[in-house]
Amino acid sequence: MTLAERAPTVDEYAALVASVGFRARDRDAIARAMANSYHAVCAVVDGVVVGCGRVIGDGGLHYYLTDVLVHPDHQRKGIGTEIVAALTSWIEALPYKNTVVGVMPTRGQADFYARHGYRIQQADSPAMARWINRSDD
């Protein structure tokens, strides 16, 4: 498996969404979303995209990990971990102090994101976040 620093194509994204059983999305909306990503990675095995993840946000204070998807045939092999690590590393390289990175994990994925330093914000909310370049200044 290799990680390519790029967003998935519309077809690649649609195939991954279908593979994990999520609702189909409008192709024009997918194209717009991919184009508006700050950073994205694709996990590629034998020339086929089997996973992806994106960073979106406001470009300064708040970022969000989204669309972390791995085809079921390739889950539990560390691919999701590599995707989240690569996205988080990209954000950590930004020069801004006290940047917040959020994630909204799907059911059963909170422990996965916790292993990457993301913490639940409130007991009654699924939202998780992590501070990057934290400073008390």
Dump pLDDT digits (tens) for 28-71: 999 999 999 999 999 999 999 999 999 999 999 999 999 999 99
Question: Contact, 111 vs 126, CB < 8 A?
Answer: no
Given this model, what pLDDT does residue 46 score?
Answer: 97
Calpha distance 127→125 (Å, rounded): 5
User: Domain spanning 2-132: which CATH class is it, in words?
Assistant: alpha beta
* Predicted local confidence at residue 61, as pLDDT: 93
> In angstroms, rounded to a whole number, what is the distance separating the alpha carbons of residues 132 and 96?
8
Closest by Cα among 67, 5, 79 to 33? 67
pLDDT per residue as tens digits for the range 72-115: 999 999 999 999 999 999 999 999 999 999 999 888 888 999 99
With a cut of 80, say whether residue 122 has pLDDT above it.
no
CB-count burial class (<10 Å; 0-12, 13-18, 19+) for 68:
buried
Q: Is the pLDDT of residue 15 over 70?
A: yes
Are 36 and 56 a contacting pair, CB within 8 Å? yes
For the chain, give every domain's residue range: 2-132
